[in-house]
Amino acid sequence: MAATLEETDQISEFDYDSDDETAPGPFSLTKLTEIASTTAEKNCTLVKLAEGGYHKVYDVLSDGEPVGMVARVAAPAFPKDKLESEIATMQYVASHTSIHTPRVHVWNSNGNNSVGLEYMILEKISGVSASDVWDTLSLESKKVTVSEVADHIIQLFRLRFDAGGSLYNDTDGNRVVGPIISIPFYRALDGYIRFDQPVDITLASYRGPFRTATAYMRSSLDAELRLVEDQREHILEYELEGDEKRLEQGRRALTKAVKLCAVYPGDVCVSEPLTSPDKSFSLRMDDFRLSNIMINKETGHVTGIIDFEGATVAPLWECAYIPRWLQDHNEWDGSYEGGSAEDKKILRELFLEKVQELDPTGEWIRASDRGRPFREFAHLSGFQVGVWASQEEWVDERLEWTKTHPGVAFPS
C-alpha cells in the first residue's frame, strides 16, 4: 500500500507520521455515505469539514444542502472504549444540564465494521466555531460568550461522582464511572504513533476507576513507568536518541513523582467544606477550546459545545479551572488563543465575577485557587519519560516541601 492515498469519493486514510505497517489503513467513504443516507432517509454526499491527528469530520449534504448532521471517523489511536465513553458523556451532560450537546444518530465502535474504522453520525450544532470569528467579534459579544461559558463550567462542576475515570452506559442504560480515557493511554499523539502495536491491554490495570485522588494522579505515572520497563529499547532508540542517562533521569523522576502523589495532593480536599463530602469528583472537559464552542456570530450566544472526547471524571481541583484561552499566554496553563492580553484580562475578570455569582457556596473558587499547583502536577503527569528527565528538581522541591507542609500546595 502506498504511504499516502488521494482522498476520493470512495476511500480515505489518516496521514500518520509513521511507516505503512503501523499507520491506520484506509477507510470507506462510500460505506460512510451509505450510512449517512440511510440515517437522513435521503441520498447524501459527504464534504470534509475538518481533519486532525485523530478524526476526520464531514458535513452531510443532500442536493448540495446541509441536512443538519455531520459524520465523524476516528483513527485507532484510542483505547477501544473511547467512543462509548464520549457518547455516554454527551448523553449525561444533556440530561443533567442545560448545555446543548450534539445528539448522536448512529454510531459503531467496531473497527471491523463496513466503514473500516469507528464512526458516528451526529447532530450538527447551529452557529459557528468561536475560534473562527473571535478575532472579529466585538468585545460585548465576547462578554456574552464568556458569561455563558462560565455558566456551562459551573453546571459541569455541580455534577458529582464518588470515583474518578470516564463515563459509560452500563447494560441497564445507567451512567457509570469506568476506565479513564486520557492521553497516556492513547496509541498515537497528534498523528504520531508511539509504538508499533497497541498497548492498551498492557496498561488496562492503570486506567481505573479511581476511588482516591492519589490513585487518579498515579495512573499515568505508573503507566509510563510500565512502558519504560516493557518498551525500554524502543523508547531509547526512537524517543531519546540512545541517551541512556536521560532515560534513567526520567525514570528516576517518575518514580519520585509517584511518591509525591501520596502526599501532594494526595486526597486532601482543596475545596472544603464540600456540599457533597462523599462525592469529591466532578466532570472535566479535556478540550474546552474556542474551536469547540459553537456560537451565534452576531450575538456571541453559545449554541452548543462539541467534542467531548477525553472528558474525564476528576478531582474537584482538576475541574475548577479557567479556560486556557482566558489565561495569560505566559502562564503554564495559558495559550496564545483568545486575543490580546488586555482583552483576556477583561474577559477573565468577567468570567470570575460570573462564577462567583453562579456559585454562592464559593466551592469552585476555593478549588480553583488552592488547586492550581495540583493542576500543574496533573498536567505534567501526562508527559513521557523524555520530558520527566528534566523535572527531577521540580519533584524534589515539592517532596521536601511536603515534609513540613503536609496537604499544603507548593507556593506558585
Q: What is the pLDDT along the chain (412 residues), one digit of tens a residue?
A: 333 445 666 777 766 555 555 556 688 999 999 999 999 999 999 999 988 767 889 999 999 999 999 999 987 766 778 899 999 999 999 999 999 999 999 999 988 899 998 999 999 999 999 999 999 999 999 999 999 999 999 999 999 999 999 999 998 888 999 999 887 777 666 556 677 666 666 788 999 999 999 999 999 999 999 999 999 999 999 999 999 999 999 999 999 999 999 887 666 666 666 666 667 899 998 778 999 999 999 999 999 999 888 799 999 999 999 999 999 988 888 888 999 999 999 999 999 999 999 999 999 999 999 888 889 999 999 899 999 999 999 999 999 998 898 777 788 6
Instruction: Give me the CATH code for the 11-124 domain, please.
Output: 3.30.200.20
127: left (phi over 0), alpha (psi -120 to 50) or beta: left
337 within 8 A of 290, measured Cβ to Cβ = yes
Residue closest to 90 by CA, chosen among 296, 301, 309: 309
Position 244 scores a pLDDT of 96
Q: Domain 125-164+210-412: give its CATH architecture.
A: Alpha-Beta Complex (3.90)
Strands (E), 195-276: none
Write down the domain spans for the chain: 11-124, 125-164+210-412
Position 268 scores a pLDDT of 61
> Could you give the CA distance from residue 311 to residue 8 in angstroms, rounded to a whole number?
33
Residue closest to 198 by CA, chosen among 329, 24, 44, 383: 24
Residues paired with 177 in a beta bridge:
167
Position 250 scores a pLDDT of 97
H or E stretch covering 143: helix 139-157
> Could you give the CA distance from residue 123 to residue 125 in angstroms, rounded to a whole number?
6
